[in-house]
């Protein structure tokens, strides 16, 4: 299958985190304002374990004539891959498998027992970060910096209910700067004391870099506040896919593809083998965070997967403190090629068509068993193109 040559493919960012998980953005409206300014017409909310931002996303997209995609992200654990030491799409943790749901139903539908499973995963994630906060406070007391962090306050003031380890790093950075009263030398001294004497590598006024360094030094494996995650806290990929299907979405595999050194994970290095494995698991949709990849690798992987019938979408995540454009580029800042723009828009069109069908209580791109209607994918692309452009070019 080849991708359709649209007369006017629109720019898409189908994977954006918001303050409903962790995000570079302080307000949900920020990425939407940026999208409008940068010429991105289709935007997908894609928070960890949460659909709570959908209502606000829908309204704010409507006000800006942007087309909204409703997505979600999970971290699952494939125990067989873990036992075999196979890295899937987490380069550091064998068996750890990130999965997204694309085109989830809005208004939200999620019956039991799936709603309970999602709530339990969210609660376990928060509980894990709370344990890390406790260890971080033990370290702060040991070092004698004269302050501690309140998990409840972090949850209340920095989150919308979903607490990530990046929130801890942000809270610590903010408190260090508050304690130092704007003095660079004092802030550096405090951070290096917490780091056990290790020299701060980042510019102390580069907040994103400092937060990343706090996370890498203290909260990741080997750090003083690191708490290993309990494998029992992770759902299996199959269970995650069932939740996504129950919520009306399309299970989607996020490819890492090539890293800065040109390396691939064990699962992804043989593209055909990976594609076959995904089909066997009834996963017919994939996505890429484009800034991770070279143009060559992204075009190779995205084109091959599109031509094999997969729905292919692209996004930027923005789930780190670093602020980047919403309009997509590959590693190094080069804009997406025309081929990639067309593939990404075609994928978004399928998701839009699916979303609209589910909204109208009709069967979307997947049937009740999760099998994709690949043979009619081009029809969904054309239908989604109509739906998206009707919203974006509305004269209301």
pLDDT, average across residues 343-364: 96
pLDDT per position as a tens digit, 118-139: 999 999 999 999 999 999 999 9
Mean residue pLDDT across the chain: 95
Res 4: pLDDT: 61
Q: Which residue has the tokens 């990639």?
A: 340
Residue 3 is given by DSSP the state P
Domain boundaries, the chain: 11-109+247-264+281-296+305-392, 118-219
pLDDT, average across residues 304-328: 95
pLDDT per position as a tens digit, 144-195: 999 999 999 999 999 999 999 999 999 999 999 999 998 999 999 999 999 9
Rounded (to 5) percent helix, strand, coil in the chain: 45, 15, 40
Instruction: Round the CA-based radius of gyration of the chain to a whole number and report it.
Output: 21
N- to C-terminal Cα distance for the chain? 37
Q: In the chain, what percentage of residues exceed pLDDT 90?
A: 92
Q: In the chain, what percentage of residues exceed pLDDT 70?
A: 98
Query: What is the domain class of 11-109+247-264+281-296+305-392 according to CATH?
Result: alpha beta
pLDDT per position as a tens digit, 266-306: 999 999 999 999 999 999 999 999 999 999 999 999 999 99
Res 351: pLDDT: 98
Q: Count helices and strands (H / E) in the chain.
A: 13, 7
pLDDT per position as a tens digit, 366-392: 998 999 999 999 999 999 999 999 999
Tokens matching residue 312: 């292919």
Res 396: pLDDT: 67
Give the β-pairing of 285-289 and 250-255.
parallel
pLDDT band at 322 (very low <50, low <70, confident <90, very high): confident
Res 233: pLDDT: 79
Length of the chain: 396
Residue 239 reports pLDDT greater than 50: yes
pLDDT per position as a tens digit, 18-60: 999 999 999 999 999 999 999 999 999 999 999 999 999 999 9
H-only helix segments in the chain: 29-38, 54-64, 79-83, 114-143, 151-158, 165-180, 184-194, 207-214, 237-246, 271-280, 295-307, 338-359, 377-392
Beta-carbon contacts of residue 104 (< 8 Å; ≥ 6 apart) = 51, 54, 70, 71, 72, 244, 247, 248, 249, 355
Residue 2 reports pLDDT greater than 60: no
Neighbour count for residue 156 (Cβ, 10 Å): 11
């Amino acid at each position: 299958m080849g991708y359709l040559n649209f007369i006017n493919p629109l720019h898409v960012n189908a994977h954006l985190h918001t303050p409903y998980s962790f995000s570079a953005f302080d307000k949900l409206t920020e990425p939407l304002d940026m999208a409008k300014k940068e010429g991105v017409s289709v935007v997908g909310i894609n928070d960890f374990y949460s659909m709570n931002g959908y209502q606000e996303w829908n309204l704010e997209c409507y006000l800006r004539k942007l087309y909204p995609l409703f997505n979600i992200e999970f971290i699952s654990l494939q125990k067989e891959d873990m036992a075999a030491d196979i890295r899937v799409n987490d380069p550091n943790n064998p068996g750890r498998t990130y999965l997204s749901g694309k085109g989830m139903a809005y208004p939200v539908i999620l019956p039991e027992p799936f709603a309970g499973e999602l709530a339990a995963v969210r609660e376990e994630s928060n509980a894990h970060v709370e344990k890390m906060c406790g260890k971080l406070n033990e370290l702060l007391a040991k070092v004698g910096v004269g302050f501690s962090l309140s998990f409840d306050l972090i949850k209340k003031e920095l989150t919308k209910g979903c607490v990530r380890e990046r929130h801890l790093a942000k809270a610590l950075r903010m408190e260090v700067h508050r304690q130092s009263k704007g003095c660079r030398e004092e802030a550096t001294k405090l951070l290096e004391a917490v780091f056990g004497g290790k020299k701060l590598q980042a510019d102390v006024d580069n907040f994103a870099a400092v937060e990343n360094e706090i996370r890498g030094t203290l909260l990741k494996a080997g750090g003083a506040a690191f708490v290993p995650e309990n494998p029992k806290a992770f759902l299996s990929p199959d269970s995650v896919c069932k939740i996504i299907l129950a919520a009306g979405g399309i299970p989607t595999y996020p490819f890492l593809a090539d890293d800065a050194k040109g390396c691939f994970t064990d699962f992804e290095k043989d593209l055909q083998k990976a594609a076959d494995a995904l089909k066997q698991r009834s996963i017919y949709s994939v996505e890429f965070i484009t800034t991770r990849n070279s143009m060559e690798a992204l075009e190779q992987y995205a084109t091959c997967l599109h031509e094999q019938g997969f729905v292919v979408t692209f996004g930027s995540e923005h789930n780190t403190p670093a602020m980047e454009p919403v309009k997509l580029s590959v590693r190094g800042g080069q804009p997406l090629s025309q081929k990639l723009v067309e593939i990404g828009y075609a994928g978004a069109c399928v998701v839009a068509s699916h979303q609209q069908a589910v909204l109208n209580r009709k069967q979307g791109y997947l049937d009740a068993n999760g099998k994709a209607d690949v043979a009619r994918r081009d029809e969904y692309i054309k239908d989604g193109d109509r739906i998206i452009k009707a919203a974006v070019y509305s004269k209301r």
